[in-house]
Amino acid sequence: MLTLLEQRGMPVTLMASLCAERPARFHGLFPKKGAIRPGCDADLLVMERGDFRHDAAKIQDREENRWSPYDGMAMKGRVAATYLRGGCIWNGTEVLAKPGTGHFVPRQHGETFLG
């Protein structure tokens, strides 16, 4: 997403709206998810800017799932860390979350957001 935004001269802040807030609203999870404010889950990612090449072989999953349509693509950034409810679950090289770390978050309301 960062690469596509930069190629089009669009601000990186648009990434938060398109990848977090809007999906959370659409699925009825906003504001518990998709927002940075008091009372919300602290689900965040840290981007590292630079010139990288995506390597599907480095995907942290079962071997049969190590495939990506982006394999070999030049990227302008990568995820340096991921935080789930304030705790680091990805440090840029390895998954730190233990099985069962996540939990189901029910819809916060019955409305949908399509605008």
Is the pLDDT at 113 greater than 60? The verdict is no
Query: Looking at the domain assignment, is residue 99 inside a domain?
Result: no
Q: Provide mean pLDDT across the span 42-55.
A: 94
Question: For position 29, which CATH number holds?
Answer: 2.30.40.10
Lowest mean pLDDT among 1-10, 46-55, 75-84, 103-112: 103-112
User: Beta strand 74-84 with 44-53: parallel, antiparallel or unpaired?
Assistant: antiparallel
Query: Looking at the domain assignment, is residue 8 inside a domain?
Result: yes
Query: Looking at the domain assignment, is residue 103 inside a domain?
Result: no
- Residue 73, pLDDT score: 96
> Is residue 82 helix, strand or coil?
strand
pTM, 2 dp:
0.80
Give me the residue label for tokens 């906003």. 30
Range of the domain at 23: 2-90
Query: Looking at the domain assignment, is residue 96 inside a domain?
Result: no
Query: Looking at the domain assignment, is residue 85 inside a domain?
Result: yes
Is the pLDDT at 32 greater than 60? The verdict is yes
Average pLDDT, the chain: 90
Tell me how far apart the alpha carbons of residues 36 and 44 are, in angstroms, rounded to a whole number.
9
DSSP labels for 68-80? -TTTT-EEEEEEE
Summarised one tens digit per residue, pLDDT across range 54-95 is 999 998 888 888 899 999 999 999 999 999 988 999 999 999
Tell me how far apart the alpha carbons of residues 5 and 7 are, in angstroms, rounded to a whole number.
5
Q: Provide mean pLDDT across the span 29-39.
A: 89
Tell me how far apart the alpha carbons of residues 70 and 83 are, in angstroms, rounded to a whole number.
23
Number of domains present in the structure of the chain: 1
Q: Provide mean pLDDT across the span 7-29.
A: 92
Query: Looking at the domain assignment, is residue 101 inside a domain?
Result: no
User: Beta strand 44-53 with 87-90: parallel, antiparallel or unpaired?
Assistant: unpaired
Tell me whether residue 21 is exposed, middle or buried, using C-beta atoms within 10 angstroms of its C-beta: 0 to 12, 13 to 18, 19 or more.
middle
Query: Looking at the domain assignment, is residue 47 inside a domain?
Result: yes
Query: Looking at the domain assignment, is residue 10 inside a domain?
Result: yes
